[in-house]
Structure 1
Amino acid sequence: MVLLTLIGRSRDGLPLSASTQDDEQADRNLADYQNQGKSLLKRLKDQASHMGSVESGPMVFHYLVEQDICYLALCERTFSRRLAFSYLEDIAKEFAQEYLPSVADVRRPYAFMEFETYINKARKSYQDSRARRHLTKLNDELQDVQKIMVQNIEDVLQRGENISTLDTKASHLSSMSKKYRSEARYLNLRASLAKKVAIVILLVLFILFVRYWVF
């Protein structure tokens, strides 16, 4: 069962659209998973693969990153990974056709919440038992899901924090480097001027020596 679907801009993690399962038997405590999903939107751009799975307790986040957009589906562990990725490819194709040209200019979160209607429709079709049997046959061409990386959410979020820390340190080092280069140019200029002043003084002293002592 797909409990949560989240679409966001991967470069900055801005949520663009979302949908949650309305089934009363579904996990009623989705707040933590929603927060985890929002955090993942910012981290998954750093992953080597554009497709993958991130385990979180009894649930799994399956993700697909295409054209600076991250598509997330929170599923029960028992839900077919093949169907989960087929589902993500379905909504990714539809979302790109509808909104891709506008994504870069979006400034407010959940700007495309009207897409929730399509998400709900697609989710129901993938969760219907008869549709699932039919889709399983249709999606045999999907790449072997066994080769798609599975990670733990703590590892992904921690790695994201480490990368963020490294970016901060790198930015600080870059600023310090610019400062040192500026100071080095200033010191070199002072040294050059000092040499010129020293030469002029020596030249003047030499002229005075020649004038008053030799003649």
Structure 2
Amino acid sequence: MYKQQVKALFKNLSKGHNGALRMSVEIGPYVFHYNIEGRLCYLTMCDCAYLKKLAFQYLEDLKNEFEHFNGAQIETAVRPYPFIKFDTFIQKTKKLYQDTHTQMNIAKLNDELYEVHQIMTRNVQEVLGVGEKLDRTFYIASNVWHFYGLSYGELTPMNESLIYAETAKDLNRQALIRKWAPVAIVFGVVFVLFWLKSNIW
């Protein structure tokens, strides 16, 4: 269950839908904390009770180590799992962070230079919902571009504003349909019943 949500979350992050470079995403009894640096995303899954500050310190340690030893190889990586050896460091560091009462972790919690108060915490459905809305908006905009015979690279301020005006109209029209369709259906059923009663009974 969570595996599918993580895949969907990564898909959203790869498209840049969430905007925030650091965020905590709640998924059931767990929280996924992520930190995006350049083209890389460092992500960890924790129990909801695990301290947010330590989770992001853990990601920071992974980032620093990875960049130090593998940073120059990122752009040239072509095969799947090219950095599998880095898992040894991940597992070793994870053990250090699992016990929140160790002297190292207490010192990290007291470090005022690294604060996480401003890092947003959101529910996974909110995060995935944003991506779905953006995908839908882009799909509609693409159809409008096609209607006007334009490609994305050919947009000018004038026709761009026209296209997004058409997109906004289409979205508003769909919202109105969703809002009033149930009412129209009810009235339709009542009208049919009234007609049947008048003409048959």
Instruction: Please give the range of the TM-score, normalised by the shorter of the 2 chains.
Output: 0.5 to 0.7
1:126–1:135: 8 Å Cα contact kept in structure 2? no
| Offset from partner CA, 1:81-108 (integer Å, 9 cap, x none) | 0000111111112222233333344455
- Percent identity over the alignment is 35
1:51–1:65: 8 Å Cα contact kept in structure 2? yes
Unpaired segments ≥5 residues, structure 2: 151-201
Query: What TM-score, normalized by structure 2, do the two folds share?
Result: 0.65
1:82 alignment partner AA: K
Query: What TM-score, normalized by structure 1, do the two folds share?
Result: 0.61
* Paired residues for 1:112-151 under 5 Å: 112-128=83-99, 129-130=101-102, 131-137=104-110, 139-143=111-115, 145-151=116-122
Equivalent residue, structure 2, for 1:153: 124
Structure 1 76/102 Cα, relative in aligned 2: closer, same or farther at 3 Å? same
Equivalent residue, structure 2, for 1:36: 5
Structure 1 101/89 Cα, relative in aligned 2: closer, same or farther at 3 Å? same
* Paired residues for 1:13-162 under 5 Å: 32-44=1-13, 45-128=16-99, 129-130=101-102, 131-137=104-110, 139-143=111-115, 145-162=116-133
* Structure 1 residue 113, shift from structure 2 partner: 1.9
**Larger strand proportion of the pair:** 1
Structure 1 110/166 Cα, relative in aligned 2: closer, same or farther at 3 Å? farther
* Structure 1 residue 50, shift from structure 2 partner: 1.1
User: CA–CA distance in 2 between the matches of 1:36 and 1:93?
Assistant: 27
Structure 1 92/54 Cα, relative in aligned 2: closer, same or farther at 3 Å? same
2:32–2:44: 8 Å Cα contact kept in structure 1? yes
User: CA–CA distance in 2 between the matches of 1:55 and 1:48?
Assistant: 17
Unpaired segments ≥5 residues, structure 1: 1-31, 180-215
* Structure 1 residue 121, shift from structure 2 partner: 1.0
User: CA–CA distance in 2 between the matches of 1:167 and 1:111?
Assistant: 33
1:60 alignment partner AA: V
| Greater radius of gyration (CA) | 1
2:29–2:48: 8 Å Cα contact kept in structure 1? yes
Structure 1 89/169 Cα, relative in aligned 2: closer, same or farther at 3 Å? same
* Structure 1 residue 125, shift from structure 2 partner: 1.0
Equivalent residue, structure 1, for 2:161: none
* Structure 1 residue 49, shift from structure 2 partner: 2.1
